[in-house]
Amino acid sequence: MNVNVETASTLRRKVTIELEPDEIGRELDRSYAELKRSVHLKGFRPGHAPRPLLERMFGDQVRAEVIQKLTREYTDKALAEQNLTPVVTPEIVTEETDLKKVLRFSAVFDVAPQIEVKDYQQLRVQPPTAEVSEEQVEQALQRMREQMAPIKRVEGRQVVENEDFAVVELEAYAEGQPVAGSKMDHTLVKISDKSLAHGLDQLLVGVKVGEHTTRQRSYPADYEEKNLAGKAIEWRLHVHDLFHAELAPLDDEFAKDQGDYENLAQLRNKLREDLLAQARRQAQAQARDGLIELILERNPIDVPESLVNHELAVLEGELSEALQARGMPAEQAHEQARKQRDELRPRALKRAHTALVLDAIAEQEQVVVEDEELARAVGEIVSSSGAARERAGKYYAEENNRAELRRALRREKTSAMLFTRASALEDASAQASAETAAHQAKDTAAEGD
């Protein structure tokens, strides 16, 4: 293996790897020997098919598999020998693939910048506070009623009303052309501003079942949905069927149906406790985010573009999945997410910056994720994957995927450590201030005496 390393920029590297025929030949021999043992050809006993015949029948397949295996294997070896660690999976570019002569390919990637994180050890954060109002408890009860309520076809009414459930077919048009990502086809929706975006709940109210209806609505130039922003939209609506939810009375019997509760008061208390715990988690998460934000401001760095693009792809995938969960077809969801790349880029940059800084702090503080912690996290993910449990198990059986999870756990552990330390410093500072104030008050009282 011949290796040449080029420094394209401060963070960009190109590693060119060239394999000689003997190295390639050993892998070809191994591949054809394995193929000979497994393939069954008419006229030949298992394991006795001649290699020239195998080369004619399976040569392209074997060649592709050998190139893939060798590029992956020798890229890893070359990077280890050169002590290079890509921030994301390298881009492999094949340059010469005549396996009788040479296999030459390049791995192009970015390395992480050398970071020494400063000015973070003495930061303080105030303990987050959280409260839950009775209105929030009532809202939670109402959501519970709605989730438990069966829906039944509306009888004696053909016009859509607020809070109905309707099977709708709709699409937005601008200047006579369909708006990408706006189409719903026989989708069950709740007629509510909490369930429908773009004012569709208002447009659907009053529509008659079975009739094709058009409604006009204009959207401001700064509207969050870029495909609608600044346009006069014609919504073409068709309601196929109408349903309503039959809400159970909010009484002790309802509470008993929700679990081990004797009455409605117990259910309210449990909901209040759950909401308070959730509010505390959210408040703590916000406080941690604020702390990380301050550390990032104090430690600006050059973030590798490949890492930003990786985070951008992750955000696009998350947005696409969210759009599909709201009923948008997969192809339209992917296209819509792709169109929002520019809006997502600042978030991707911040996520990449955060990852690099937390990794650097983890090195400085010698934060370690033990094998037991990793195994426990994998077990929790797999057990909670439902129907995708087997697929999740196979995914985390791969060492690369387990290594990525270990890095994520290490960052989370580092973030929690920073928050705990900053909270303790704030508590100590508050206690010292209180003690000083008490001493001052005592001295003042003594002077008065």
The domain limits of the chain are: 2-110, 113-149+252-300, 151-246, 309-361, 367-449
Give the per-residue pLDDT at 301. Answer: 92
Specify the pLDDT at position 435.
Answer: 62
For 397-432, letters b (16+ CB in 10 Å) and e give: eeeeebeebbeebbbebbbeebbebbbeeeeeeeee
Q: What is the pLDDT of residue 24?
A: 85
CB atoms under 10 Å from CB of 1, counted, come to: 12
The pair of three-digit structure tokens given for residue 269, joined into one six-digit string: 């208390």
Q: What pLDDT score was predicted for residue 439?
A: 64
For the residues 249-256, what does the mean pLDDT come to?
A: 91
In the three-class reduction of DSSP (H, G, I as helix; E, B as strand; rest coil), residue 212 is classed as strand
**Residue 103: is its pLDDT beyond 90?**
no
pLDDT band at residue 445 under the 50/70/90 scheme: low
Q: What pLDDT sits at residue 444? A: 65
- What 3-state class would DSSP assign to 156? coil
C-beta of residue 363 within 8 angstroms of C-beta of residue 330: no
Per the CB < 8 A criterion, the answer to whether 169 and 185 are in contact is yes
Task: State residue 191's pLDDT score.
Answer: 92
**What DSSP assignment string belongs to 345-398?**
HHHHHHHHHHHHHHHHHHHHHT----HHHHHHHHHHHHHT-GGGHHHHHHHHHS
CA 204/CA 214 separation, integer angstroms: 10
CA distance 368 to 373: 10
CA distance 110 to 12: 4
Residue 200 is predicted with a pLDDT of 94
- Beta pairing partners, 166: 189, 242
Within a 10 A sphere around the Cβ of 353, how many other Cβ atoms? Answer: 21
Task: Tell me the mean pLDDT in the region 188-210.
Answer: 92
What is the average pLDDT across 93-100?
A: 81
pLDDT at res. 441: 63
In angstroms, rounded to a whole number, what is the distance separating the alpha carbons of residues 23 and 32? 15
Instruction: Report in angstroms the alpha-carbon separations of 208 from 151, 204, 211, 241, 449.
Output: 19, 9, 6, 10, 85
Q: Do 186 and 156 contact (CB within 8 A), yes or no?
A: no
pLDDT at 321 over 80: yes
Report d(CA 346, CA 329) in Å as an integer: 27
Residue 111: partners with Cβ closer than 8 Å, 6 or more residues away: 11, 13, 84, 85, 86, 87, 304
195: pLDDT strictly greater than 90: no
Is residue 166 predicted with pLDDT exceeding 90?
yes
Per-residue pLDDT, 416: 93
Residues in the chain: 449
Q: What is the mean pLDDT of residues 265-271?
A: 94
Determine the pLDDT at residue 324: 83
* Confidence tier at 125 by pLDDT (50, 70, 90): confident
C-alpha dihedral sign at 149, 150, 155, 157? positive
Q: What is the rounded average pLDDT of the residues 286-298?
A: 93
What is the reported pLDDT for 443? 61
Who wins on pLDDT, 43 or 291?
291
Angle of CA points 131, 133, 134, to nearest 5°: 150
User: What's the fold here for domain 2-110?
Assistant: Alpha-Beta Plaits (3.30.70)
Instruction: Return the SS3 of 439.
Output: helix
Residue 246: predicted pLDDT: 87
Which pLDDT tens digit goes with each residue over 382-435?
A: 999 888 888 889 999 988 889 889 999 999 999 999 999 998 887 676 666 666
Tens of pLDDT along 145-162?
888 888 899 999 999 999
**Residues whose CB falls within 8 Å of the CB of residue 428, separated by 6 or more in sequence, listed in order:** none
Quick one: pLDDT at residue 170?
93
Across all residues in the chain, what is the average pLDDT? 88
pLDDT tops 90 at residue 224:
no
Q: How far apart are CA 133 and CA 9, in angstroms?
A: 56
The DSSP secondary-structure symbol of 11 reads S
Q: With bands split at pLDDT 50, 70 and 90, how would you rate the model's confidence at 194?
A: confident
- pLDDT of residue 10 exceeding 70, the answer is yes
Q: How far is CA 47 from CA 29, 32, 35, 425, in A?
A: 14, 11, 8, 71
| pLDDT at res. 449 | 58
pLDDT at 411: 94
Task: Say if CB 409 and CB 377 are below 8 A apart.
Answer: yes
Span 43-91, pLDDT tens digits = 887 788 888 888 888 888 988 898 888 888 889 899 999 899 898 889 9
Q: Is the pTM of this model over 0.95?
A: no
Given a cut of 90, is residue 1 above it in pLDDT? no
235 near 172, Cβ under 8 Å?
Answer: yes
pLDDT tens-digit map of 352-385:
999 999 999 999 999 999 999 999 999 999 999 8
Q: Please report the pLDDT score of residue 448 as a whole number.
A: 60
Cβ neighbours of residue 314 under 8 Å, at least 6 residues apart? 348, 351
Domains 2-110 and 151-246 fall in the same CATH topology: no
- CA-to-CA separations, 396 to 178, 304, 377, 399, 402, in angstroms, rounded: 42, 26, 10, 7, 5
Q: Look at domain 151-246 and name its CATH class.
A: alpha beta
pLDDT tens per residue across span 270-287: 999 999 999 999 999 999
